[in-house]
Chain A
Amino acid sequence: MGLLEIATLIQDRYPDQVIEVVTCREQAGVILHKEKILEICRWLHDDPVLQFNHLADLCGVDYLHKKDVRFEVVYNLYSIPTKRRIRLRAQVPEDDCWIDSVTPVWIGANWHERECYDLFGIKFKGHPDMRRILLPEDWEGHPLRKDYPLDGGRRNWRGYDEVKEKARRLREYDFYGMYEDPTKKIGLKDVSK
Chain B
Amino acid sequence: MSANKPDLKLIKNDTPGGENEAYTVAMGPQHPATHGVLKLDLELDGETVIKCRPTVGFLHRGVEKLAENMSYAQVLPLTDRLDYIASMANNVAYSIAVETLLGIETPLRAKYIRTMVMEMARLTGHLLWLATHALDIGAMTVFLYCFRERENLLDMFEELCGARLTTTYTCIGGVRQDVTGHFLETLYAFTEEFPSRVKEYETLIDQNRIWLKRTKGIGVITAEQAVSLGLTGPSLRGSGVDYDVRKHMPYDAYPFVEFEVPIGSEGDVYDRYRCRMEEFLQSNSIIRQCIEQLPAGPVRAEDAPDLVMEYNPAKKVAADATFSSGIIKLMEDRDRYMQGDVYVAAEVPKGELGFYFVSDGHGRPYRMHIRSPSYIHIGALPYLCEGYMVADVIANIGSLDVVLGECDR
How distant is the Cα of A56 from the Cα of B60 in the complex, in angstroms?
Answer: 21
Which residues on B sit within 8 Å (CB–CB) of A150? 69
B162 near A: Cβ within 8 Å?
Answer: no
Give chain A nearest CB distance to B38 CB in angstroms: 13
Which residues on A sit within 8 Å (CB–CB) of B228? 53, 106-108
How distant is the Cα of A22 from the Cα of B103 in the complex, in angstroms?
Answer: 17
Which residues on B sit within 8 Å (CB–CB) of A134? 56-57, 60, 408-409
Contact assessment for A135 and B60 in the assembled complex, using a CB-CB cutoff below 8 Å = yes
B227 near A: Cβ within 8 Å?
Answer: yes
How distant is the Cα of A80 from the Cα of B239 in the complex, in angstroms?
Answer: 14
B64 near A: Cβ within 8 Å?
Answer: yes
Contact assessment for B356 and A74 in the assembled complex, using a CB-CB cutoff below 8 Å = yes
Interface range on chain A (Cβ under 8 Å from partner): 35 or more
Which residues on B sit within 8 Å (CB–CB) of A24? 338, 340-342
Interface residues of A (CB under 8 A from B): 22, 24-25, 27, 29, 53-57, 59, 61-62, 66, 74, 76, 80, 83, 85, 87, 106-112, 115, 119, 133-136, 143-144, 150
Contact assessment for B62 and A143 in the assembled complex, using a CB-CB cutoff below 8 Å = yes
Contact assessment for A87 and B343 in the assembled complex, using a CB-CB cutoff below 8 Å = yes
Which residues on A sit within 8 Å (CB–CB) of B101? 25
Contact assessment for B379 and A25 in the assembled complex, using a CB-CB cutoff below 8 Å = no
Give chain A nearest CB distance to B142 CB in angstroms: 31
Partner of B354, one of A76, A109, A119: A76
Contact assessment for A25 and B229 in the assembled complex, using a CB-CB cutoff below 8 Å = no
Interface residues of B (CB under 8 A from A): 56-57, 60, 62, 64-65, 69, 100-101, 103, 225, 227-231, 241-243, 248, 338, 340-343, 345, 352, 354, 356, 358, 360, 366-367, 369, 371, 375-376, 378-380, 383, 408-409
Contact assessment for B375 and A56 in the assembled complex, using a CB-CB cutoff below 8 Å = no
- If A27-B343, A80-B241, A144-B64 touch, whether A55 touches B230 (CB-CB below 8 Å) is yes
How distant is the Cα of A144 from the Cα of B368 in the complex, in angstroms?
Answer: 10
Residue in A closest to B379 when the chains form the complex, CB atoms = A111
Which residues on B sit within 8 Å (CB–CB) of A144? 64-65, 367
Which residues on A sit within 8 Å (CB–CB) of B340? 22, 24-25
For B231, B248, B379, the residue with the greatest tally of chain A CB atoms inside 10 Å of its CB is B379
Give chain A nearest CB distance to B180 CB in angstroms: 34
For A74, A80, A134, A135, the residue with the greatest tally of chain B CB atoms inside 10 Å of its CB is A134
